[in-house]
Structures are given as C-alpha cells and as structure tokens.
C-alpha cells in the first residue's frame, strides 16, 4: 500500500514539474511575442520626443538626449488638425452608429423571422464578403458622384447605414444562441417585434454590440483609402489624410509623423481599455 502511495506521489510530483515547465515556456513565449509587437510602438513614442537630427542619426540612439514635449504641439499646429480631428470623430461616430442600427436590425430579421428564400438571401449576403473593396470602388465612386457625395463626408458616413455582411453575420450568430422562450414570453405580454428587439435583444446583445462598435470604430478611424478617393478639399480631410500630408515630395519629416501617429492611436487605445470588460462578458451573464 505504501509503495503504491509512493508511486502516486512521485507521479504527481512529476506532473507538477511538467506543468510548471510548460507554464514557464508558455509565459516566456508570450513575453517574447508581446515584446515583438510592442517594441515598434515603444520606438515610435520614444522617437516622437527626439529632435529631427537625432531621429535620423546613425547609429540610432535609443533614448533622446532631451525630451521635447513641444514636438507634439508644433506638429499639431503645423496643419489644421483640429478640423481633421473633428472630421474623423464625426465620420467614426456616425458610421459606427449606422452600423449598429442597420446590422442589428438585419441580424434580428435573419435570426428570428421565417420567410421564403431566407437562407438563399443570407448566403448571397455572405458571398459579398468575398468581394474585395477594390472591385466595387469604381462603381461606388460613380454612384456617389451621381448623388453629389464626392468631396463630402456623406460618402464616408451613409454607407454605414447600409450595413456590413461581416457584422450582420456576427450578430446573427449571437442572436441564434438566445432562447426563443424570451420571444414567446414577450409576445404573451403583448409586445410587438420592435419592442422585443429594443427591450429584450438589445440589452442581451450589449457585449456583441460593443465588440462591433470597437472593431468598426478602429477600422473607420484608421481608414486612409476611402477618404483619399472621396475627399478633395483639405477642410474635409480626416486624420489619416492629414498624417499623409506630412510626407513631402523629396523628404519625409520623421518627428511630425511620429507625433501625429502617437496622438492618433490614443483614442482607439482608450476606447478598448474602457470597453474591454464588456467585450469579455459571457452570454449567460448578459442574459441573466
């Protein structure tokens, strides 16, 4: 009996050692991968405080000799970045609002309504995800030109109210996991479809909606090609276009690029930090 206990004890200790080694290996790899992704951002932030000569020196210096906080103010005032910031905020907020409304309504229809050809229509919608935006760019430009939206923020905002196949699919899959007993109980209480959607589904879908809002906000905030094609006047530029304006024909000013880039990534980082606890909420907790 004591021999068996000794064997079990030895086996347990060996398993604990293997688990400890595996954890050390996993944590080491995670730290290495984290440094791999964080080092460019750290280098960008450090460079933003250097002088232009120090940033372009060879061999490069790691830390600046003098931390110049004024670089951010001078870079921001070099162009109309207050206007660019307002345009970016307006486009991001309104486009995201349109995505949340249109995609949640469409997903609710696919998840809860039964009609002829629903599955075929849903498959056609999913097939549009395989078409790159470069293919539809020219037809979309011609369409917006007919509507008079060229050189207007409407070309960047209104498409958000037309929905997105990816977000519709994401929200529809989330709704499919919600018990239908909630719908039936609401109907017994006299609720119509819009009341069920707004009073029951929207609160339950809060984690999924926040995730959609974060993904879409970051995508729209960093979008460069769309504003480049549809906008022409400088007073309509977004931050992405304003950042590209620092790139001269013969030379590129490093410090202004680094400063504006650092300032540009602050809103998405703050948005993720504030909303991350909602994203990781479990569906069961939300339903409860």
Q: What separation, in Å, do the N-terminal and C-terminal C-alpha atoms of the chain show?
A: 50
My answer on whether 65 and 79 are in the same domain is no
pLDDT digits (tens, 9 = 90+) for 158-211: 999 998 999 999 999 888 888 888 888 888 888 888 888 888 888 888 888 988
Residue ending a domain, choose from 26, 52, 70: 70
My answer on whether 248 and 281 are in the same domain is yes
If we measure between CA atoms, which residue out of 77, 81, 51 comes closest to residue 63?
51
Residue ending a domain, choose from 41, 70, 99: 70
**pLDDT band at residue 12, thresholds of 50, 70 and 90?**
low
pLDDT of residue 285 exceeding 60: no
pLDDT digits (tens, 9 = 90+) for 209-259: 988 999 899 999 999 989 999 998 888 999 988 888 776 544 567 788 888
Cα diameter, the chain: 88
Q: Does residue 116 or residue 6 have the better pLDDT? A: 116
My answer on whether 24 and 136 are in the same domain is no
Mention every residue, 6+ apart, whose C-beta is less than 8 A from residue 210. 275, 278, 279
Residue 11 pLDDT:
53
My answer on whether 185 and 237 are in the same domain is yes
Q: Does residue 287 or residue 83 have the better pLDDT? A: 83
Residue 280 pLDDT:
65
My answer on whether 130 and 203 are in the same domain is yes
Residue ending a domain, choose from 43, 70, 97: 70
My answer on whether 121 and 172 are in the same domain is yes
Residue 159 pLDDT:
92
Residue 216 pLDDT:
93
My answer on whether 173 and 233 are in the same domain is yes
The Cα–Cα gap between 178 and 194 comes to: 17
Residue 100 pLDDT:
94
My answer on whether 274 and 168 are in the same domain is yes
pLDDT of residue 282 exceeding 70: no
| β-bridge mates for residue 247, sequence order | 252
Which residues constitute the domain of residue 30?
2-70
pLDDT digits (tens, 9 = 90+) for 75-95: 888 888 899 999 999 999 999
My answer on whether 58 and 84 are in the same domain is no
pLDDT of residue 6 exceeding 60: no
Instruction: Say if residue 16 is exposed, middle or buried (CB neighbours under 10 Å; 0-12, 13-18, 19+).
Output: exposed
219: domain CATH number is: 1.10.3720.10
My answer on whether 52 and 109 are in the same domain is no
Structurally, the chain folds into a number of domains equal to 2
**pLDDT band at residue 10, thresholds of 50, 70 and 90?**
low
My answer on whether 62 and 89 are in the same domain is no
My answer on whether 202 and 151 are in the same domain is yes
pLDDT digits (tens, 9 = 90+) for 117-148: 888 999 999 898 888 888 888 899 999 999 99
The total of other beta-carbon atoms located within 10 Å of residue 172's CB is 20
**Whole-structure pTM value:** 0.82
């Amino acid at each position: 009996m004591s021999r068996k206990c000794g064997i079990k004890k030895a086996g347990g200790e060996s398993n604990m050692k293997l688990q400890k080694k595996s954890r050390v290996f996993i944590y080491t790899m995670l730290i290495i991968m984290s440094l791999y992704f964080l080092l460019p951002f750290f280098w960008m932030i450090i460079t933003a405080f250097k002088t232009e000569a120090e940033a372009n020196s060879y061999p490069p210096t790691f830390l600046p000799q003098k931390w110049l906080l004024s670089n951010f103010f001078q870079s921001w005032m070099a162009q109309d970045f207050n206007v660019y910031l307002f345009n970016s905020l307006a486009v991001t907020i309104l486009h995201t609002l349109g995505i949340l409304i249109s995609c949640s309504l469409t997903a609710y229809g696919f998840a809860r309504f039964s009609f002829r050809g629903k599955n075929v229509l849903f498959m056609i919608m999913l097939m549009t995800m395989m078409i790159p935006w470069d293919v539809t760019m020219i037809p979309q430009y011609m369409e917006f030109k007919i509507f008079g939206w060229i050189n207007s923020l409407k070309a960047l905002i209104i498409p958000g109210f037309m929905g997105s196949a990816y977000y519709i699919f994401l929200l529809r899959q989330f709704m499919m996991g919600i018990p239908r007993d909630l719908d039936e109980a609401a109907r017994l209480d006299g609720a119509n479809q819009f009341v069920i959607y707004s009073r029951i589904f929207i609160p339950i879908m809060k984690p999924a909606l926040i995730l959609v809002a974060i993904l879409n906000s970051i995508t729209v905030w960093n979008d460069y090609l769309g504003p480049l094609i549809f906008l022409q006047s400088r007073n309509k530029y977004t931050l992405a276009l304003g950042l590209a304006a620092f790139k001269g024909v013969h030379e590129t000013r490093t410090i202004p690029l680094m400063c504006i880039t650092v300032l540009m990534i602050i809103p998405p980082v703050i948005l993720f930090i504030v909303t991350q606890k909602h994203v990781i909420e479990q569906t069961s907790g939300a339903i409860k």
